[in-house]
Structure 1
Amino acid sequence: MKQDTTIITSDHHHLHAYESTHKNVTAGLVVLQEIFGVNHHIRNVCDNFANQGYHVISPALFDRVEKNVMLGYEQTDIQKGFSLRSQIDPQKTLLDIIAAAQYLPYSKIGVVGYCWGGSLSWRAATETDIFSAASCWYGAMIPSLLQHPHRCPVQMHFGALDASIPLDQIEQTRLHYNDVEIYIYENADHGFGCQARSSFNPTAYQQAQQRTLDLFKKYL
């Protein structure tokens, strides 16, 4: 099953979400978007995880500002994505993520996010108790979000060439949380896991994807 659906948050906000699932599912997964919305790429990400046996939901986190945002990867798209993100209260975004998890009828739920969503998946792991495991892909805000302990097992995936997340900041994060699995991929830049971007690195993507699947297989 693949469909668009609606989620209602605790503050009565109605937001769209993309849902993908198969039969005989025993665990749920929340996929958190980049700054480009729940676009074609994120929908493919959801479908790929659903093919691995998860009931997947991806909330449209821009809905509080603008509905039906599905951007591409040109400079104008990047600028619009940053503009939309800047208009959203981070605590409201957390309510959206919690509502997405509560939509899934399972005792074990994971979260995985990319870019903006990578930082948000870290927030979800440190500021809520609803997730059983979290995988954070190139979340640039993570080094500024080290004030809370994580409440579930966490992986982080970074590109060694990613100028938005300097290696010394990654090392700072590693020292702060020595029980978090942190992986750095050589010759990989920001967005290395997105096939729609020029920075896509198939080797790094396959390694990070397999590690993410192994994490979820262990804890979900």
Structure 2
Amino acid sequence: APDLFARGGRDIELGYEAADGAEGRRIRMAIPLEATMADIAATLALARQTGPVAVMGFCWGGSLAYLSACRLAGLSAAIGYYGGMIVDHIEEQPQCPIELHFGRNDPHIPLAGVARIHKAYPMMPIHLYEAGHGFHCDERKDFDAPSAAIAWQRSMTFLNEHMHS
């Protein structure tokens, strides 16, 4: 996986406290999206040398997984968890199978936005969970073990269906 914060500094490690989140957002906003996509493209080019490649991301990474599916060639599949920027890029069409996961109680991603994504791509698997933002991360307050387990199983099934040589 590329170190998506490397352009913002060396050895950046952030937790899930409010100050860490604010610092992460500051770094993310200072790095042009085109540069981040270039880093992902370079990583995918290297990984494709060994076989089929998929992307999976959480939060900002969930949005980047969607954008990778739309903008980068050669992906077999993409999976995005609670990607808040997806609705802002809804006009960009995925070029590979993609599956999305969202929490119904996510204060950062309105259900109306998720509904817009579903309306634009009715055949795209979009799963909703009775959980909040970050429900898959066991270090966050919104971690929800049952939702995380179901989402992970769905993700692995999706990858198994789409990852072939």
TM-score (norm 2): 0.96
Give SS of 1:131's match: coil
Q: Identify which of 54, 59, 67 aligns with 2:2.
A: 59
| 1:128 CA drift (Å) | 1.1
Mapped to 1, the partners of 2:95 and 2:46 lie a distance apart of: 20
The corresponding residue for 1:168 is: 112
Number of matched pairs: 162
Separation in 2, partners of 1:68, 1:81: 13
Aligned partners of 1:118 and 1:135 also within 8 Å: yes
**Equivalent pairs: percent with the same residue?**
34
Is the CA contact (8 Å cut-off) linking 1:98 and 1:130 kept in structure 2? no
User: Which of residues 38, 41, 45 in structure 2 aligns to 1:95?
Assistant: 38
Which is helix-richer, 1 or 2?
Answer: 2
Q: Please tell me the root mean square deviation across aligned C-alpha atoms, in Å.
A: 0.8
2:16 to 55, 58, 73: 73
- Give the TM-score, by structure 1 length: 0.72
- Give distance in 1, aligned partners of 2:29 and 2:92: 23
Give the aligned partner of residue 198 of structure 1.
141
Specify which of 97, 104, 108 is matched with residue 153 of structure 1: 97
The structure with more strand, counted as a fraction of residues: 1
**Tell me, which stretches of 5 or more residues in structure 1 are unaligned?**
1-57
Q: Partner letter of residue 138 of structure 1?
A: Y
CA distance in 1, matches of 2:50, 2:112: 38
Within-5 A mapping of 1:3-42: none
**Aligned partner of residue 70 in structure 2, secondary structure:** helix
Which stretches of structure 1, 4 residues or longer, exceed 4 Å deviation after superposition?
Answer: none
Distance in 2 between the 1:119 and 1:67 partners?
23
